[in-house]
Structure 1
């Protein structure tokens, strides 16, 4: 049977404890740090996309939008998001209940796109999405995600009388 013998010094030698603790805790700390950075980037891009869509939708609301001017207005307000990666769906209806939200496809984009500005007094639904490649995509893939994060905004409004 083992008996503690203070003269051996085995239980007092703590020279490798710091390295072992660092080795156990560092990956968890780095994973949390990477997640914070990724969430911060996504929130910044979400805010930028929301503001750009709100401002560009004013063109639709006043009846002065074409597809090209709408996309140009969105791209002008979003320096952090590549304009070619934006997908959008603009639909109009006689009532808000007649409008339906477009589903997201398996590739993290809008399943269908279109551009219909409606007429004076039409109820409108505008959806704009951006499939952002994850900054730490290898970590997301290892966690079971696809490596892309969908940033999407939806705006509903009624056209003004024009």
Structure 2
């Protein structure tokens, strides 16, 4: 009988329960916190790249862009959030939007082809800018089946002004 009383006392003893609960839940909390941080950084970079591409596209729209001025305008707006040397872009022009095609992403996580064709007055344009961001928490992404890089990309379609 005496041993049953000891068991009852052990069941009521809750010392150390908080430490065990923390040990069980803290890894899950840390993974969620890391994922939120990664998503937040990606959204910041996406916004910076999108705004940079929009502002630089204004040079194309007005007929004042060269490849060097376009790249300089994108880099000026995207930095310091995105390293300039890592931004890839593809600028296409055509007489109709149906003739333009979105460039696919390569296996390395960048645009499969790049180029710059500013078009002429009234041309239909497609501008794509991309950045392959190395993930801070790449081991978590690899465990989830990703390659460890996150592609941040923006695409703009517009028609050049008459100039």
Structure 1 counterpart of 2:123: 122
Residue number in structure 1 paired with 2:58: 58
Within 1, Cα distance between the matches of 2:26 and 2:141? Answer: 18
Match of 1:14 in 2: 14
Distance in 1 separating the partners of 2:78 and 2:101: 26
3-state SS of 1:90 partner = strand
| 1:57-101 alpha-carbon deviations (Å, 9 max, x no partner) | 001011111111000000011121100001100001111011010
Partner in structure 2 of residue 138 of structure 1: 139
In the alignment, is residue 5 of structure 1 matched against residue 4 of structure 2?
Answer: yes
User: What is the deviation of 1:7?
Assistant: 4.3
Query: Structure 1 or 2: larger helix share?
Result: 2
* CA-to-aligned-CA distance 1:83-130 (integer Å, 9 cap, x gap): 000110000111101101001111110011111011110000000000
Superposition RMSD on alpha carbons, in Å? Answer: 1.2
* Residues 1:38 and 2:33 aligned together: no
Residue 102 (structure 1) aligns with: 103
Aligned length: 159
Secondary structure of 1:10's counterpart equals helix
Deviation beyond 6 Å, 4+ runs, structure 1: none
Q: Which moved more, 1:108-117 or 1:9-18?
A: 9-18
With structure 2 as the length reference, what TM-score do the two structures score? 0.93
Point out where structure 1 has 5 or more consecutive residues left out of the alignment: none
Normalised by the size of structure 1, how large is the TM-score? 0.94
Distance 2:30 2:145 in 1: 18
Whole-angstrom CA distance in 2 between matches of 1:7 and 1:159: 85
Give the structure 1 partner of residue 71 of structure 2. 71
Aligned-partner SS, 2:78: coil
- The aligned residue for residue 153 of structure 1 is 154
